Amino acid sequence: MALEYEETLYSKTLPVCKEPQKRKPKKTGKFELFQDKTGGFRFRLKASNGEVIAVSQRYRSKKSCLNGIQSVKKNTMNAEIAHLKDKR
């Protein structure tokens, strides 16, 4: 499973400072696109500590997998958080 594509995510807000400083945005995670054993394409989302927090479905093409990454980025920015209650 060779890594095909990697995109690092950065925070959009920088700390407020009294003096102008050159600060790099904080890394918040990254998407990794890879080819699976069956030849399909998938991506995984890793947290800044390297922990895998999501893995995608299988895509037939690299282009559609990249579209999947863009969709996740776009649709999670203002996503609602639903608290599900345990039915026990």
What tens digit of pLDDT does each residue of 61-83 get?
A: 999 999 999 999 999 888 888 88
Edge to edge, what strands does the sheet with 52-55 contain? 3-10, 27-35, 41-47, 52-55
Tell me the CATH number for domain 3-10+26-75: 3.30.160.160
Is pLDDT above 80 for 6?
A: no
Would you say the pTM of this structure is higher than 0.75?
Answer: no
pLDDT at 5 over 60: yes
pLDDT at residue 84 in the model: 87
Q: What integer pLDDT is reported at residue 4 of this predicted model?
A: 63
Give the residue ranges of DSSP H helices in the chain: 62-76
* Top-confidence residue, 48 or 42: 42
DSSP state of 77: T
